[in-house]
């Protein structure tokens, strides 16, 4: 038995892969690639009858909407035939869309496939869950593709003015909540349904106003904005994922000097938080872990430091050099493993601010070397 993922390089697929790093599993993970979908025969060679398949592969947009329908239909038909070829008895988790209820050909392709897989599962005896999802948003979603939040965030950070075509109400679910939901299929055969508590409904302009407020507070002033709800935190973590970190950080603190010495404000925040500090000896490295939800700020106020970050699933490493002679800070993005190393001759003193109190039952800290 193994986990198979189609569309592993897509928005949902990559988030599933990141989440699998946070759980202890005995399953081997493999990918169903574009070349595997060339024929039902080649795809069937990758599938064992008891595997767990997360099927995310599909086409969201094309110049010709008919091509969207044909390409999605071809992908899903190939998997359908391959499952029949191996007399599949495992689990298939399929993502559909609320566009099923519209006149779009994309929605029609999704609905046709969901109903066909459901009928086949009853015939072959495998577990099937076809999840009709609202608009999924979260970090790393591709702008100008399938999430207006990604597009707005990217535009605002790049000093472009977002355009609102229709100020309609949109149902939203955060990618982290969606992944937590579907990953339950690894442990049981319970039907997967999206609870109403996981769905938020907002007007497009309301979301745009929140993003503009994040920009004013965080990008322009360096303040941590107010997170009045869990949704606000998810939206903020989505927004800041479109920052080009290597060009944005480190940011110098403003230092006031007079005859008494110096003073600097490190973090102005409008949400709950916790402050701590560390003294790091010469040549020592701290960290090598990542977070999935926390907002964290490292401020170097004495000594010399190298802060390294790397997005989980990526090999690209970003390095920042900070000097306490000019106090500065770097904020840690979610899903980036990070560390801080004392590269000077003296002790390194670092102030840490994080947006939540430490909780032993939910530390949100996962070890991985940068």
Q: State pLDDT tens for residues 90-112.
A: 999 999 988 888 888 889 999 99
Domain that holds residue 137: 2-204
194 and 293 in a single domain? The answer is no
d(CA 17, CA 10): 10
Contact 273, 306 (CB under 8 A): no
CA nearest neighbour of 31 among 2, 74, 73: 2
Q: Enter the tokens of residue 76.
A: 């899903």
Clarify whether residues 87 and 35 are in a common domain. Answer: yes
| pLDDT < 70 positions in the chain | 62-63
- The predicted pLDDT at position 67 comes to 87
The pair of structure tokens assigned to 337 is 């493993």
* Counted domains in the chain: 3
Q: Is the domain of 220 the same as that of 280?
A: no
The continuous run of DSSP H or E covering 230 comes out as helix 230-240
Cα 169 to Cα 206, 312, 332: the distances in Å are 9, 33, 32
Determine how many CB atoms are found less than 10 A away from the CB of residue 67: 13
User: Based on the domain organization, do 19 and 112 belong to the same domain?
Assistant: yes
Can you tell me the distance from the alpha carbon of 103 to that of 86, in angstroms, rounded to the nearest whole number?
34
Q: Which of 190, 332, 329 is nearest to 265 (CA)?
A: 329
> End of a domain among 151, 182, 204?
204
Question: What's the pTM?
Answer: 0.94
Q: How many residues does the chain have?
A: 370
What is the β-pairing status of strands 317-323 and 348-354?
Answer: unpaired
Based on the domain organization, do 55 and 188 belong to the same domain? yes
As a whole number of angstroms, the distance between CA 32 and CA 44 comes to: 10
SS3 assignment, position 102: coil
The CATH number covering residue 348 comes to 2.60.120.10
93 burial level (CB within 10 Å; 0-12, 13-18, 19+): buried
Residues 165 and 274 both lie in one domain: no
CATH number for the domain harbouring residue 142: 3.40.50.720
268 within 8 A of 342, measured Cβ to Cβ: no
- 305 and 173 in a common domain: no
Tell me, what's the pLDDT at 145?
86
Helix 230-240 and helix 204-214: axis angle, to 10°?
70
Is residue 311 located within the same domain as residue 347?
yes
Residues 234 and 134 in one domain: no
One domain, residues 153 and 236 = no
**Are 197 and 215 in the same domain?**
no
CA dihedral 147→149→153→154, nearest 10 degrees, is 10
Rounded Cα distance, 21 and 312, in Å: 9
Q: Are 346 and 285 part of one and the same domain?
A: yes
């Amino acid at each position: 038995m193994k986990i198979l993922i189609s569309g592993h390089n897509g928005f949902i697929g990559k988030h599933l892969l990141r989440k699998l790093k946070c759980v202890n599993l005995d399953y081997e993970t493999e990918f169903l690639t574009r070349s595997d979908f060339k024929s039902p025969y080649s795809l069937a060679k990758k599938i064992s009858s008891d595997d767990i398949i997360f099927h995310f592969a599909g086409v969201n947009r094309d110049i010709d909407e008919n091509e969207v329908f044909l390409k999605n239909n071809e992908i899903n038909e190939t998997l359908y035939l391959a499952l029949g070829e191996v007399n599949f008895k495992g689990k298939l988790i399929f993502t559909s869309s609320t566009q099923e209820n519209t006149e779009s050909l994309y929605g029609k392709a999704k609905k046709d496939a969901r109903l066909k897989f459901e009928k086949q599962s009853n015939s072959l005896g495998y577990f099937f869950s076809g999840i009709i999802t609202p608009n999924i948003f979260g970090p790393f979603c591709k702008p100008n593709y399938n999430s207006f939040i990604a597009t707005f965030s990217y535009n605002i950070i790049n000093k472009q003015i977002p355009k609102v075509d229709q100020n309609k109400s949109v149902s939203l679910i955060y990618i982290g909540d969606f992944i937590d939901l579907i990953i339950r299929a690894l442990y049981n055969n319970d039907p997967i349904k999206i609870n109403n508590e996981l769905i938020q409904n907002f007007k497009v302009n309301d979301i745009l106003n929140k993003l503009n407020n994040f920009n004013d507070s965080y990008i322009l002033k360096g303040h941590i904005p107010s997170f009045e709800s869990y949704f606000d935190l998810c939206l903020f973590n989505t927004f800041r994922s479109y920052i080009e970190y290597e060009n944005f950080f480190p940011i110098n603190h403003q230092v006031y000097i007079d005859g008494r010495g110096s003073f600097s404000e490190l973090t102005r925040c409008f949400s709950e938080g916790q402050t701590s500090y560390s003294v790091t000896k010469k040549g020592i490295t701290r960290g090598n872990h990542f977070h999935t939800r926390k907002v964290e700020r490292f401020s170097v106020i004495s000594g010399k430091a190298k802060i390294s970050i790397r997005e989980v699933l990526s090999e690209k490493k970003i390095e920042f050099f900070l000097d306490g002679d000019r106090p500065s800070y770097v904020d840690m993005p979610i899903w980036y493993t990070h560390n801080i190393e004392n590269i000077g001759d003296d002790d390194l003193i670092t102030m840490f601010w994080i947006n939540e109190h430490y909780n032993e039952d939910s530390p949100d800290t996962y070890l991985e070397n940068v």
